[in-house]
Amino acid sequence: MSGHAVPDTPLGPLNFRPLLRRAIWGGTNLATQLDKPSGHLDDCSESWEIVDLEDHQSVVEGGPVDGWTLKRLVAERGSELLGRHAPLESFPLLIKFLDATDRLSLQVHPDDASAARHHPGYRGKTEAWYILSSRPGSRLWVGLHPGTTPEQLATALETGDIDSCVDSFEVRAGQSVVVPAGTIHAIGEGIVLAEIQQPSDLTYRLHDWDRVGADGQPRQLDLQRGLEAVNHSTPPIVPSTPSDAQTPCDSQCLVDRSEFQVDLRRVQGRDEWTLDDRCRILTVVQGEGTLEVDGTDCELPIGRTVILPAAVEQAALTSQHGLAVLDSHLP
């Protein structure tokens, strides 16, 4: 029955097949830490869990809409899927895991206005990171030193003196960082993270640490558009660390922006949940548990991402030994 669904079959929790990406900075941690089907790759850089882009589509795995693309779900079952936010032309968020075995390039994503100037029909990209693991000393480069001018940044990129202009800090598991569109950034080596972002793949590479690609040549930079996209007025960015859970079932807001919101839900035992007519994406970042909806159980091992459609009114998260889930949604 793949690709066909009974019209009045209600949508329950939706699982999707991950889309694996390769890059020179990838490794094997997505297989070893998150059980992604990438064990045959030594350069797996990303696992796209939820995506609705022109050239990349999540596909449902299992259930009455097995084989449906996310784009088709939005088009044909949009009201059930998106609730208060329907109708939309495409799914509003992209969720991925990244394995930075090596350092990523220094880059910037445009905001909506900058994207529209250079790529009509595309949108900008604000993103947020949740650190799953990091080696001692692993760093993120995020944002500019206060007062950095465009000329100073251009000179630093030319000379390679990145730390003279770009802020950096060490991170550890459990911390989160919000990276607004227009913020210069790089993910350092030794970090595995979950990323929640606006659905855009526009990236302007500004500096690549004197590295060469698989062909032995330096990877292409996009300095003109990248420098134009950098927002020099973004306030300093620092990592956020959730406070200790006060109860066995605890929820804390990690991200509260106009583009999206992310809550960290921690469960030891059973957490019953009354939903509010909006689609939620649940991403397991620690432990394991079960999602219960209408008498049906959906297993939640670490690394699993599930869409909970807006039409679901009641749900429960259960875990015997502890579960931490990112709950991503629109405001």
Q: Provide the CATH number for the domain formed by 14-229 in this structure.
A: 2.60.120.10
Per-residue pLDDT at 208: 97
Mean pLDDT in residue range 213-219: 88
Scan for tokens 């957490």, then name that residue: 271
**Domain segments of the chain as ranges:** 14-229, 249-329
pLDDT at 4: 53
Q: Which residues pair with 15 in a beta bridge?
A: 306
Percentage of the chain modeled with pLDDT above 70:
98
CA–CA distance, 201 with 285 (Å, rounded to integer): 23
Q: What is the DSSP string of 238-302?
A: --B-PPPPSSSEEEEEEEE-SS-EEEEEEEEEEEEEE--SB-EEEEEEEE-EEEEETTEEEEE-T
Pick the CATH number of 249-329 from 2.60.120.10, 2.70.98.30, 3.40.50.300, 2.40.30.10: 2.60.120.10
pLDDT of residue 9: 85
Domain 14-229 and domain 249-329 have a common topology: yes
Q: How far apart are CA 14 and CA 94, in angstroms?
A: 15
The secondary element (H helix, E strand) that includes residue 75 is: helix 70-76
Q: Are 322 and 266 in contact (CB under 8 A)?
A: yes
Q: What is the pLDDT of residue 156?
A: 97
Please give the pLDDT value at position 1.
42
Residue 2 has pLDDT above 50, yes or no: no
- Which one-letter amino acid corresponds to residue 85? H
Please state the rounded mean pLDDT for residues 212-235. 93
Q: What pLDDT digit, counting tens, does each position of 77-135 carry?
A: 999 999 999 999 999 999 999 999 999 999 999 999 999 898 888 889 999 999 999 99
Residue 253 pLDDT level (bands cut at 50, 70, 90): very high
Q: Say whether 205 is catalytic.
A: yes
Q: Quick check: 179 and 128 in contact, CB under 8 A?
A: yes
Reported confidence tier of residue 7, pLDDT bands at 50, 70, 90: low
- Lowest-confidence segment of 3-17, 59-73, 243-257 by average pLDDT: 3-17
**Active-site pick, 17, 72, 205, 278:** 205
Q: How confident is the model at residue 6 (pLDDT cuts 50, 70, 90)?
A: low
Q: How far is CA 261 from CA 46, 126, 191, 318, in A?
A: 22, 11, 23, 23
